[in-house]
Copies of this chain bind each other. A is one copy, B any other.
């Protein structure tokens, strides 16, 4: 997207110093400015950069005083930081603001969708699918039968949403994620082989949930795997069948949660964490990266290690682990006496 700084000054209700016809096509930090980019200066610490930045234009506070000449155009606004944030949001919105149905795409005759619908080419909408208003579906996406999607959702390219999944409003799912695949349930037979346990449940994703790229959320064996309102999941996370994740819990990349685990509200879970099946993690729990959780965690606890225990205790043990050689020498010294 290209804009003249005249257009931008109008959006921000600012005034221009320089040529209003200058065009910009991206946003940058002032220290990384380049031809065609638009930056901002808010923190005084970065003032020296305005005299050497290669940005084509910089947003500054109304009362900012130049001490030498600059090469860039200026846009003066009430609050440069707020103005730049506003532009970022504007950019984010504009980026996904498509509508219409591209061809070839596939919409089953029993499916329905609301106003402002965008379906990119190679999108597949199965039998009985119900889609609300203002939903944007990017290329190569599959929405299988009986899925329902609320309003204002964004489904990025390559996402696979399996049968019976229920998705609320203001949900975004990043590229390549798989929602509602069969869970990993097998019953051992006498001859050492396994038979598949039918997986007949679904996935329910509540409002304002954001899901990263290449994340998997399996359907429940019976009932629902539930991702509650406001949950934020990063990339490459695995959520097994019948898991429940509470409101506003945030989970970093590559964490795995085994079947039927129940995670509370407002938890902060690091990357590459493993959580065993059938355990409960209460509200407001913090889990450090790469930890392994094998038992119930009480509300408010902060843990580390595999298996994890109290964060402070774990750190004290780990410091001693690093110095085990010294500890062993002290024993040897004592033995000599």
Contacts and interface: CB of A to CB of B under 8 A. Distances in A.
A174 B163 contact: no
Nearest to A194: B232
Contacts of A328: 320, 327
A196 to B, nearest CB: 7
A254 interface: yes
Given A106-B102, A106-B139, A330-B331, A320 B324 contact: yes
Chain A at the B interface: mostly helix, strand, loop or mixed? loop
Given A238-B235, A331-B334, A140 B156 contact: no
Contacts of A234: 184, 238
B178 A223 contact: no
Contacts of A181: 156, 174-175, 212-213, 235
Count of this chain's copies in the oligomeric assembly = 3
A25 to B, nearest CB: 9
Contact of A122 (B26, B140, B289): B140
Given A238-B253, A258-B271, A139 B157 contact: no
Contact of A223 (B28, B139, B175, B254): B28
A188 B238 CA distance: 24
Contacts of A316: 324-325
Given A89-B198, A292-B290, A258 B254 contact: no
A256 B230 contact: no
A271 B230 CA distance: 27
Nearest to A215: B214
Given A92-B200, A317-B324, A252 B248 contact: no
A230 to B, nearest CB: 5
Given A256-B271, A331-B327, A235 B321 contact: no
B124 A106 contact: no
24 contacts: A26-B200, A88-B222, A92-B196, A106-B122, A140-B142, A140-B158, A158-B158, A160-B213, A174-B178, A184-B253, A192-B248, A193-B208, A194-B230, A194-B232, A194-B248, A212-B216, A216-B236, A234-B238, A256-B272, A289-B292, A317-B321, A317-B322, A320-B325, A320-B328
Interface of A: 26-29, 32, 88-89, 91-92, 95, 102, 104, 106, 120-122, 124, 138-142, 144, 156-158, 160, 162-163, 174-176, 178, 181-182, 184, 186, 192-194, 196-200, 208, 210, 212-214, 216, 218, 222-223, 230, 232, 234-236, 238, 240, 247-248, 250, 252-254, 256, 258, 265-266, 271-272, 274, 276, 289-290, 292, 306-307, 309, 313, 316-318, 320-325, 327-328, 330-331, 334-335
